[in-house]
Amino acid sequence: MTDLATPRTTYLRYREDLERPRPDEEEIIDKIIEVLRHNNERAYHTHKHGLRDAHAKSHGILRGELVVHADLAPELAQGLFARPATYPVMARLSSTSGVIRSDQLRGVRGLGIKVLGVSGPRVLPDDHATTQDFVMVTHREFLFADAHAYLTRGMPTAWLLARLPDPVLQTGATVLSALDERVLRRIGRPLPPTLNVFVRPNTHILGDTFHTSAPLRYGDHVAKLLYAPSSPEVVALQGEPLPETGINALQDVVVDFFAAHGAEYELRVQLCTDERRMPIEDATVEWPASESPYRTVATVRFPPQDPYSPQRRAYGDDVLSFNSWRGLAAHRPLGSINRLKKRVYEASSNYRHHVNNAPRVEPTDIDQLPN
């Protein structure tokens, strides 16, 4: 349950000097973009279609609304959440891999939320959209501290994973799962997070909890966000095993669920209290909930619908793009991993829309999402 009481806490005030990039960060990001561009090109030659270099496979494109709660504490009533309001949203459920794979493979899942009809100063001066994007994953902390760690440790893994076939990855996951149990019994600790993601239980995606992982500005403060099931039907799916057959099992369970049910989720905020214990530049460090609990600021609701009609899938995969830098200045993404994503997501989106000859249009009306 969410702690509804207002803690007696002093929260970190946002300042421009909270971020401290390495002097060579832009050169590091250049190298990462070059490698990912080769992965984009390889995927295009394989599928004859441009794919995202992350979150390539979608499992449902949802239409709903985000309801900002009334009577929020002053430190929570910030930016998009400054006053009670209801906004239309589009959301895309995905796997974070840049390769189209069987859903029987374990791994991290992704959630892109696009809030429509948002007004106010933008993060980027040339951005004239009226949307706010939140990009979230099932991993609470990011696997790599910063862009340098991603280049030196993440990119070799990404390069290899893009080239291994499903059966090899399935065998590797089985071996890692057995090893994880052995290591846990022997030393009382699981595998490192970079390996542990491949042995996470393969569960129903609508019961998953999603995180921003890296921090963002939250008006006068700094925060991380969490998205968790709240209505009984999706709470019941937490930890529910995914059917062990079907390469598109995640798509199947999402379509089947929304044919008969709606769903509600809570959007919660964890405010930073201390930049040393809750660092901005190291995305691998857990922010202790004992020091600053997650507190609910909004509800996201989805009615029954067809989340994967051919027209909706095409719109969600080929037209829509999600980038946490597309939004309000009050929610500016912070830290090295977010600065990396800014350029990487933009480069990937440009390539994908170009080779698919697809319009790059930011929606202005919820009815632009096909039924």
Max mean pLDDT range (91-105, 111-125, 195-209, 351-365): 111-125
pTM here? Answer: 0.90
Residue of 213, 228, 221 whose CA lies nearest to 331: 221
pLDDT score for 2: 44
Q: Are strands 131-137 and 109-116 parallel, antiparallel or unpaired?
A: antiparallel
Quick one: CA dihedral 200, 204, 207, 212, positive or negative? positive
Residue 6 inside a domain? The answer is no
Mean pLDDT over residues 354-369, rounded?
92
Residue of 187, 182, 228, 181 whose CA lies nearest to 201: 181
Query: Would you give the distance in Å from CA 165 to the centre of its chain?
Result: 25
Instruction: Please check the confidence at residue 7 and state whether its pLDDT lies above 80.
Output: no
| β-strand partners of 111 | 93, 136
pLDDT score for 173: 65
Residue 95 inside a domain? The answer is yes
How far is the C-alpha of 114 from the C-alpha of 123, rounded, in Å? Answer: 15
Instruction: Please check the confidence at residue 8 and state whether its pLDDT lies above 70.
Output: no
Residue of 342, 310, 354, 296 whose CA lies nearest to 29: 342
Residue 270 inside a domain? The answer is yes
Residue 363 inside a domain? The answer is no
State how many domains the chain has. 1
Residue 183 inside a domain? The answer is no
Phi, psi of 172 (to 5 degrees): -60, -40
Residue 245 inside a domain? The answer is yes
Structural domain boundaries, residue 249: 22-167+198-355
Residues 6+ apart with CB under 8 A from 230: 264, 265, 266, 299
Radius of gyration for the chain, computed over Cα atoms and rounded to the nearest angstrom: 20
Residue of 286, 182, 269 whose CA lies nearest to 223: 269
Q: How many CB atoms are located within 10 Å of the residue 192 CB?
A: 10
Strands (E), 209-255: 210-211, 216-218, 221-229
Residue 339 inside a domain? The answer is yes
pLDDT score for 359: 80
Phi, psi of 241 (to 5 degrees): -65, 140
CATH number at residue 316: 2.40.180.10
Instruction: Please check the confidence at residue 20 and state whether its pLDDT lies above 70.
Output: yes
Residue 184 inside a domain? The answer is no
Following DSSP, what letter does each residue of 7-31 receive, concatenated?
---PPPPP-GGG----TTHHHHHHH
Quick one: CA dihedral 114, 52, 346, 283, positive or negative? positive
Mean pLDDT over residues 133-140, rounded?
95
